[in-house]
């Protein structure tokens, strides 16, 4: 059985982002004794919102059933239509360039620096966050597409994910009404935790966080053209078995979306 999810970053990436991912993968692979399988660059993706259904119950949201014991059918098409018309899209994400200091937001109570890279279970994860700053040339002192003194970090992703609940779609990390998840997270590979002791793990995390903090921030613009509905049978989303449609695709009717769980 196939499942469906809403993702971004899949496929072709900017040279700057490719270089950043490759460098982090090499840092992990360079640890003596570690068993690490890097993701192929095209399959590296960020999950915006899981659209998985309960097995045997077509279009019933899996997260609602799992975390709130509710049985409700998703209106995925309605959510997509809302998202395209909403004030939230397009939006920008900053990856890298977060110093080890306080910002006007935290992630799970931690600084962005601390959350920018982590080894979670068997997953190597990089994170970024929504950023909003003036268009190019709007300030007199900084005309580059980089964070500026007038930039700030809005809760764009958290708001999008919360809005999905109106369409009977529960984000995996919004299990209670108080939960906040504004993280833009993407795996760059899988490793065997048994091949990495705690001291080496902490040292590796610090080294990659330090690297990310000193890189020039990468700003990724997300639009309906590069936000995708993906149908998959492997949660790693390998290119050879994953099918995807951009939010601009006119094929994305409720009937067509329902068929993606079967094909």
Domains of the chain, by residue range, sit at 3-19+41-118+127-189+217-257
Q: Please check whether residue 10 is in contact with residue 239, taking contact to mean a CB–CB distance below 8 angstroms.
A: no
The pLDDT value given to residue 139: 37
* The pLDDT of residue 263: 64
Q: pLDDT tens digit string along 158-188?
A: 999 999 999 999 999 999 999 999 999 999 9
Q: Is pLDDT at 202 greater than 80 in this prediction?
A: yes
Give the model's pLDDT for residue 156: 97
156, 182 contact by CB (below 8 A):
yes
Bridge partners, residue 60, by sequence: 73
Predicted confidence (pLDDT) at residue 143 exceeds the cutoff of 50: no
| pTM metric for this prediction | 0.92
- pLDDT at res. 150: 53
Please state the rounded mean pLDDT for residues 74-96. 97
b (16+ CB within 10 A) / e for 201-228: beebbebbbebbbebebbbbebeeebbb
Under 8 Å between Cβ of 205 and 38: no
**How sure is the predictor about 1, in pLDDT bands with cuts at 50, 70 and 90?**
confident
């Amino acid at each position: 059985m196939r499942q469906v999810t809403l993702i971004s970053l899949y496929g072709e990436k900017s040279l700057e982002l490719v270089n950043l991912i490759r460098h982090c993968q090499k840092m992990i692979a360079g640890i003596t004794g570690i068993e690490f399988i890097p993701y192929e660059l095209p399959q590296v993706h960020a999950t915006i919102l899981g659209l998985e259904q309960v097995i045997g119950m077509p279009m019933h949201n899996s997260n609602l059933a799992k975390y709130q014991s509710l049985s409700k059918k998703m209106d995925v098409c309605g959510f997509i239509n809302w998202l395209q018309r909403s004030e939230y899209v397009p939006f920008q994400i900053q990856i890298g360039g977060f110093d080890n200091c306080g910002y006007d937001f935290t992630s799970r109570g931690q600084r962005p620096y601390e959350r920018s890279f982590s080894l979670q279970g068997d997953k190597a994860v990089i994170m970024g966050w929504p950023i909003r700053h003036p268009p190019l040339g709007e300030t007199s002192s900084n005309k580059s597409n980089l964070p500026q003194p007038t930039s700030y970090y809005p809760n764009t992703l958290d708001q999008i994910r919360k809005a999905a609940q109106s369409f009977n779609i529960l984000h995996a990390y919004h299990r209670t009404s108080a939960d906040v998840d504004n993280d833009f997270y993407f795996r760059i590979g899988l490793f065997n935790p048994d091949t990495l002791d705690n001291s080496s793990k902490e040292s590796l995390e610090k080294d990659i966080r330090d690297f990310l903090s000193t890189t020039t921030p990468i700003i990724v613009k997300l639009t309906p053209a590069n936000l995708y509905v993906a149908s998959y049978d492997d949660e790693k989303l390998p290119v050879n078995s994953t099918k995807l449609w951009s939010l601009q695709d006119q094929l994305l009717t409720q009937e067509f979306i329902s068929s993606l769980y079967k094909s």
